[in-house]
């Protein structure tokens, strides 16, 4: 924790974004390339000098409890390091427990008992200082923990003023200046705290409460300062991790893989499913090899990986475990998927409206914006298990009909007939059906958009180029596309060697996997409730 003028900057939140750190591994570079050039067998079988450039394959073995615990700790470290690296707004905050929470009740009762004992001891005649000395000792350790390694003068001063042996001797002679010690503690806190805590420390100086209440407030502010120190440490770690994060995450995952060889099972299934889908969509060539067997052209490794990532956008989290290499981004991927499905539903509603009404409402951006915002608000929370989709769509239909009638009347057009309103309502409510033609069209166009991004060498230039029919949600698609491509790029950079090893076995083994119908990983974007 910096002293005086060396104060930490306040933490600001920001959008998640992937690091642009490039890996030194040649194989990793090849996997992060967006172009789909053909890779030779030699490129996947060549050795690499880096220990963590190629994942090791371990023979089956019994995993001990200690190894499981070690893996859990390493996975926790991996998640934390990844979060700090890709989420520039990541910081820790104090936990506010619910009012009726059992943990809060127990904690508050313990704290109350401690402060009651302290107040009782200080009010005795003569006063007792046993609890007060424990309190001062804990405060001293907290203040010392805030110091930088070179702050020897401040360390010496704290040790001299809060000399516990001397304070005990003073307590034996009823000569402890508690108010004076509290004043010194507050002054020292003012020298150590971040600028955001200056006002809190100022209130401590101006406090006229009794000594027990004052120490309660001192501990509250010290807790805030401890959180500030943690966040300053996180900010300093972020600078290091953005340079070394790729190698750290890869090495940590390799350690987990060494101890639990099955740690890539779901990832292998994920990539194999993508390969099988591509193989089943490829017709055998008419040429035959020397043994008269038909040859099936293998898809390039980049095609397989990119196609696998496209599946993540429609991943069914309830039925299929997420690949292990994507677990650190699960919350972000779920959020992208849910926001994308809500955008699709909004776009479907708008397409139906403009198709049904026609020229009477064309060229009115303000009306389009109102309908879009209204629909989006009413669909907010559509992924909640208790959300009633059909009721929401009926409400949307009623609101849209009302808004359309108002707009048409203002411009001297006839209002919507009851029959047309009923037709419009039925079409809007039908998007909850999986085989709805408008829904299918929008989903295909969205898939085309993300396919273009993920296969393009410079996807940033294509973010605003949405397929026809998706113009209404261009800003939302561009934002989600940027987030998704950033996550994919960083993931390929970290786990490219592991993907390369899996693809080498799948593509160039003696018996490539026979094509089979791909698993249905599509999660309904609009579910009937």
pTM: 0.67
Cβ atoms < 10 Å from Cβ of 120: 12
Q: Which residue has the higher pLDDT, 527 or 148?
A: 148
What pLDDT is recorded for position 527? 36
Domain end call among 206, 239, 272? 239
Quick one: 362 and 217 in the same domain? Answer: no
Is 122 part of any domain? Answer: yes
516 found inside a domain: no
- Average pLDDT taken over every residue of the chain: 80
In a domain, 515, yes or no: no
Kindly indicate the confidence band of residue 326, based on its pLDDT and cuts at 50, 70 and 90.
very high
Regarding whether 336 and 228 lie in a shared domain, the answer is no
pLDDT tens for 380-425 read 999 998 999 999 999 999 999 999 999 988 888 888 899 999 999 9
The more confident residue out of 503 and 65 is 503
Between 97 and 102, where is the model more confident?
A: 102
Domain carrying residue 225:
102-239
The better pLDDT of the pair 167, 61 is held by 167
**376 and 490 part of one domain:** yes
Indicate if 372 and 487 belong to the same structural domain.
yes
Same domain, 231 and 349: no
Cβ–Cβ < 8 Å for 169, 162: no
Query: Averaging pLDDT over each range in 3-7, 88-92, 231-235, 412-416, which range is the top one?
Result: 412-416
Q: What's the rounded mean pLDDT across residues 115-140?
A: 87
Kindly state whether residue 280 falls inside one of the protein's structural domains. Answer: no
Cα–Cα distance between 40 and 206 in angstroms, integer? 75
Question: For residue 459, is it within any domain?
Answer: yes
- Asked whether the predicted pLDDT for residue 298 surpasses 50, the reply is yes
Neighbours of 301 (CB within 10 A): 26
Residue where one domain finishes, among candidates 196, 211, 239: 239
**Residue at a domain's end among 239, 264, 294:** 239
61 located within any domain: no
Q: Judge whether 208 lies within some domain.
A: yes
Q: What is the pLDDT of residue 148?
A: 84
Confirm if 183 and 206 have CB atoms less than 8 A apart. no
- What's the mean pLDDT in 54-72? 56
Tell me, yes or no, whether 339 and 450 share the same domain.
yes
Nearest CA-CA partner of 448 in 313, 291, 284, 295: 313
Q: What is the pLDDT of residue 510?
A: 53
Whether 187 and 336 share a structural domain: no
Residues 339 and 456 in one domain: yes
Q: Count how many domains the chain has.
A: 2
Task: Report pLDDT digits (tens) over 475-518.
Answer: 999 999 999 999 999 999 999 999 999 999 988 775 544 444 44
Over 50: is that where the pLDDT of 453 sits?
yes
Q: Which residue has the higher pLDDT, 207 or 476?
A: 476
Banded model confidence at residue 66, pLDDT cuts 50, 70, 90: low
35-44, 67-76, 387-396, range with greatest mean pLDDT: 387-396
Q: Is 363 exposed, middle or buried (0-12, 13-18, 19+ CB in 10 A)?
A: exposed
């Amino acid at each position: 924790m910096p002293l005086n003028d060396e104060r930490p900057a306040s933490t600001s939140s920001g959008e998640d974004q992937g690091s642009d750190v490039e890996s030194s591994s040649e194989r990793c570079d090849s996997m992060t390339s967006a172009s789909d050039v053909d890779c030779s067998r030699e490129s996947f079988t060549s050795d690499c000098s880096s220990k963590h450039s190629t994942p090791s394959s371990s023979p089956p073995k019994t995993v001990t409890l200690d190894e499981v615990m070690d893996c859990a700790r390493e996975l926790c470290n991996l998640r934390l390091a990844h979060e700090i690296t890709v989420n520039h707004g990541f910081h820790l905050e104090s936990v506010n427990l619910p009012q009726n929470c059992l943990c809060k009740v127990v904690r508050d009762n313990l704290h109350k008992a401690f402060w009651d004992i302290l107040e009782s001891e200080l009010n005795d005649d003569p006063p007792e200082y046993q609890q007060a000395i424990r309190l001062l000792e804990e405060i001293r350790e907290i203040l010392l923990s805030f110091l930088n390694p070179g702050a020897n003068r401040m360390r010496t001063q704290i040790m001299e003023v809060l000399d516990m042996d001397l304070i005990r001797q003073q307590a034996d002679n009823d000569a402890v200046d508690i108010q004076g010690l509290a004043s010194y503690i507050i002054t020292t806190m003012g020298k150590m705290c971040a600028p955001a805590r200056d006002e809190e420390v100022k209130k401590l100086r101006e406090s006229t409460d009794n000594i027990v209440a004052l120490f309660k407030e001192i501990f509250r502010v010290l807790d805030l300062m401890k959180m500030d120190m943690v966040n300053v440490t996180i900010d300093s770690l972020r600078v290091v991790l953005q340079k070394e994060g790729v190698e750290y995450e890869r090495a940590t995952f390799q350690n987990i893989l060494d101890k639990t060889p099955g740690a890539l099972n779901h990832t292998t299934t994920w990539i194999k499913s993508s390969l099988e889908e591509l193989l089943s969509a490829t017709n055998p060539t008419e040429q035959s090899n020397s043994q008269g067997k038909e040859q099936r052209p293998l898809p390039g490794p980049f095609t397989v990986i990119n196609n696998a990532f496209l599946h993540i956008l429609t991943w069914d989290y309830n039925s299929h475990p997420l690949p292990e290499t994507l677990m650190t981004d699960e919350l972000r991927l779920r959020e992208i998927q849910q926001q994308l499905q809500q955008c699709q539903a909004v776009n479907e509603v708008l397409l139906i409206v403009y198709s049904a009404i026609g020229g009477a409402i064309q060229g009115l951006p303000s009306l389009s914006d109102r309908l879009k915002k209204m629909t989006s608000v009413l669909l907010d929370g559509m992924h909640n298990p208790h959300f009633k989709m059909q009721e929401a769509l009926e409400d949307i239909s009623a609101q849209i009909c009302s808004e359309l009638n108002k707009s048409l009347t203002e411009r001297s057009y006839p209002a919507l007939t009851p029959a047309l309103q009923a037709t419009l309502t039925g079409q809007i409510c039908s998007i909850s059906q999986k085989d709805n033609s408008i829904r299918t069209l929008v989903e295909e166009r969205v898939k085309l958009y993300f396919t273009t991004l993920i296969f393009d060498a410079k996807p940033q230039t294509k973010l605003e180029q949405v397929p026809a029919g998706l113009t209404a949600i261009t800003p939302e698609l561009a934002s989600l596309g940027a987030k998704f491509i950033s996550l994919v790029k960083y993931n390929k950079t970290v786990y490219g060697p592991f993907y390369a090893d899996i693809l080498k076995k799948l593509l160039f083994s003696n018996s490539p996997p026979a094509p089979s119908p791909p698993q249905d990983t599509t999660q309904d974007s609009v579910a009937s409730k």
